[in-house]
Amino acid sequence: MAPDCSYLAELVRINDTLIWSHDRADSYLRAVRIIKDVIGARLAPSFLLDDTGTRLDLVTDDEQRAILGDEFATMPASEHVRAPWINPGEWPVSAADHLDHEGWAVLPPNFKKWFGSSGVVVSIHADGKHLGAVVLSFDGEFVLTQTKKEFLAAAGRILGNALYRWQVGARERELGALEERRRLSDELHVDLSQQVATLGLHVGAMKLDLAEANVDRLAEDVRRLDDTVTALKRSLRHQMLGLRSDCELISGSFVERVRRQVDDFERQLAIPVELDCPRPGDADKVPLAVAAQLVRVLQEALSNANMHSRASGVTVRLLPAHTRIRLEIQDNGCGFDPDSVPDSRLGLRIMLERMQQIDGSLSIEPGPLGGTLLVAEAPLNVAGRTAAIPAREGS
């Protein structure tokens, strides 16, 4: 950093970067890049705590991610969120001051290799909550002076306040959406009951007019009946879109919900189902909106396997990756032709619509060993880590 450069001015620039950008993931990375350039670090990856507080997730640009490799995409919090790297005052900590500390000794060798003996851990925190850290690595020796320590501490607070504000805002909007969907679902339930009752009244009126041979009134009865049926079909379509799905999912984990769905299907229809989820912890990090749609797609796919493919066995795979989640439903049935089964066509359209709502994709093809393979894929976050950095205001 140039001698005439003001640390205060750089802190203001970091804060403005986080406040004024619409793309939160990008603004966070640019703010960290300012810290990296000002302090003269070689690397400055962030590691943010997940919702459970047991895992640190890497948040950085593609260049630094490539340097660190997949080994450090996630790290156990127990190895790093501890003394001396974390302290009550949330002050930055230099490795050079703690080379004889147990906390240094237990760090994985490959981590120490790029972190270095002059590395610095900058705590990210807000409202008394530790959120993660920016880990600074240097070429050669680096001395953490008091002035630099104060600058990094303030920068960590600014980052933490932004992350905390985004997370709280995103959670409030998510819960607000759930409540709105719950309200709509309740209204639809009442609406359906009323419309079914109205159908009965119209049919009764038609019987009376038919008995009296009143053609004009009978024609009006048919028109009203047609209007009611149209409204009922619209309500049923909304109901099929499963507006309660998110609300139900909030009470349990995504993997548990998938397992319950599979177990219910197996118990009710005596069709064995194998559930393969090699990384349940990662799968449970799927955003509620994505999880809700995948559960409904699973329901429809299992129904197709029973009714149309006539399967005697099904395999369900839940495969989370860094940026996407993949749901596979493979059956051993005879396959089915959607064009020959009207309700199957409707089910496929609904599944496709669900995936489109979450920017996902749906494909159906013959399985490698026969039967049908349905694959639903959705992005976890198109602009970065959804849980830690909500993508943009109001999204």
Residues 270 and 161 in one domain: no
Residues 14 and 163 in one domain: yes
Residues 45 and 151 in one domain: yes
Q: Is the pLDDT of residue 35 over 60?
A: yes
CATH number at residue 122: 3.30.450.40
Does 91 reside within a domain?
Answer: yes
d(CA 101, CA 326): 43
Residues 19 and 158 in one domain: yes
Taking the CB of residue 129, how many other CB atoms lie within 10 A of it? 13
| Residue 328: closest CA among 367, 291, 274, 375 | 375
Query: With b meaning 16 or more CB within 10 Å and e meaning fewer, what string describes 9-48?
Result: ebbeebbebbeeeeebbbbbbbbbbbbbebbebbbbbbbb
The model's pLDDT over 104-131, given as tens digits with 9 standing for 90+, comes to 999 999 999 999 999 999 999 998 889 9
Question: Which region among 98-107, 226-235, 313-322 has the lowest average model confidence (pLDDT)?
Answer: 226-235
Tell me, what's the pLDDT at 382?
38
Residues 134 and 254 in one domain: no
Q: Is the pLDDT of residue 386 over 50?
A: no
CATH number at residue 348: 3.30.565.10
Residues 148 and 261 in one domain: no
Does 197 reside within a domain?
Answer: no
d(CA 318, CA 276): 6
Taking the CB of residue 172, how many other CB atoms lie within 10 A of it? 10
Q: Is the pLDDT of residue 253 over 90?
A: no
Residues 258 and 166 in one domain: no
Question: Which region among 27-36, 39-48, 100-109, 386-395 has the lowest average model confidence (pLDDT)?
Answer: 386-395
Q: Is the pLDDT of residue 46 over 90?
A: yes
Tell me, what's the pLDDT at 388?
47
Residues 266 and 388 in one domain: yes
Tell me, what's the pLDDT at 64?
96
d(CA 119, CA 144): 10
Q: Is the pLDDT of residue 43 over 50?
A: yes
Look at residues 172, 198, 231 and tell me which one is the last residue of a structural domain.
Answer: 172
Show the domain range for 255: 250-395
Q: How far is CA 256 from CA 251, 252, 253, 291, 298, in A?
A: 10, 7, 5, 11, 13
Does 273 reside within a domain?
Answer: yes
Look at residues 172, 189, 207 and tell me which one is the last residue of a structural domain.
Answer: 172
Tell me, what's the pLDDT at 383?
36
Q: What total number of domains does the chain contain? A: 2
295 vs 338: which has the higher pLDDT:
295
142 vs 194: which has the higher pLDDT:
142
Residues 113 and 257 in one domain: no
Does 258 reside within a domain?
Answer: yes
326 vs 198: which has the higher pLDDT:
326
Predicted model pTM: 0.53
Does 241 reside within a domain?
Answer: no
Residues 155 and 282 in one domain: no
8 Å CB contact between 10 and 34 = yes
Does 154 reside within a domain?
Answer: yes
325 vs 359: which has the higher pLDDT:
325
Does 129 reside within a domain?
Answer: yes
Taking the CB of residue 8, how many other CB atoms lie within 10 A of it? 10
d(CA 90, CA 121): 10
Does 315 reside within a domain?
Answer: yes
Q: Is the pLDDT of residue 150 over 50?
A: yes
Report how far apart the first and last C-alpha atoms of the chain are (Å, whole number): 37
256 vs 245: which has the higher pLDDT:
256
Residues 160 and 290 in one domain: no
Look at residues 172, 195, 228 and tell me which one is the last residue of a structural domain.
Answer: 172
Tell me, what's the pLDDT at 217?
83
d(CA 110, CA 200): 73
| Residue 251: closest CA among 168, 357, 321, 175 | 175
Mean pLDDT on 84-97: 94
Residues 29 and 154 in one domain: yes
